[in-house]
């Protein structure tokens, strides 16, 4: 059994997804990145469902200048349910601001 052979299809293109890790934990990105920027959350080692579209604020991200500030809600951990502002380019940009 080779875990590296586990393949999941990207829902956006015909490439496969690869599991990656950043300082917030695991997520799934497309092998075709950066041409395809599909990102899926990790759910017990498998790609999870696509997150609901984040609430747009219509303001540019002050950190990268390319993304947009979007309102998100924390789903896990001690701060679950708390709202924060993040960048639409997450996880490429990790800008966050608690409100
Ligand atoms: Zn893709
Ligand atoms: Zn940003």
pLDDT of res. 52: 59
Least distant ligand from the CA of 47: 1
How far, in Å, CA of 56 to CA of 63, rounded? 16
Q: Where are the beta strands (DSSP E) in the chain?
A: 8-9, 16-22, 25-30, 39-43, 46-47, 55-60, 68-73, 83-87, 96-98
Distance CA 38, CA 32 (A): 9
Residue 84 alpha carbon to ligand 1 centre in Å: 27
Q: What is the mean pLDDT of the chain?
A: 86
End-to-end Cα, the chain, rounded Å: 46
Ligand lying nearest the CA atom of residue 15: 1
- The model's pLDDT over 2-19, given as tens digits with 9 standing for 90+, comes to 445 558 999 889 899 999
Q: How confident is the model at residue 1 (pLDDT cuts 50, 70, 90)?
A: very low
Task: Give 82 Cα–ligand 1 centroid separation in angstroms.
Answer: 30
């Amino acid at each position: 059994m080779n875990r590296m052979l586990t393949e999941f299809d990207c829902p956006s293109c015909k490439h496969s997804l690869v599991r990656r890790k950043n300082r917030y934990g695991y997520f799934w990105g497309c092998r075709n990145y950066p041409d395809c920027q599909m990102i899926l959350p990790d759910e017990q080692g498998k790609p999870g469902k696509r997150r609901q579209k984040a609430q747009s604020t219509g303001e540019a991200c002050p950190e990268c200048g390319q993304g947009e500030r979007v309102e998100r809600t924390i789903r896990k951990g001690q701060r679950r349910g708390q709202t924060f502002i993040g960048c639409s380019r997450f996880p490429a940009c990790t800008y966050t601001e608690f409100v």
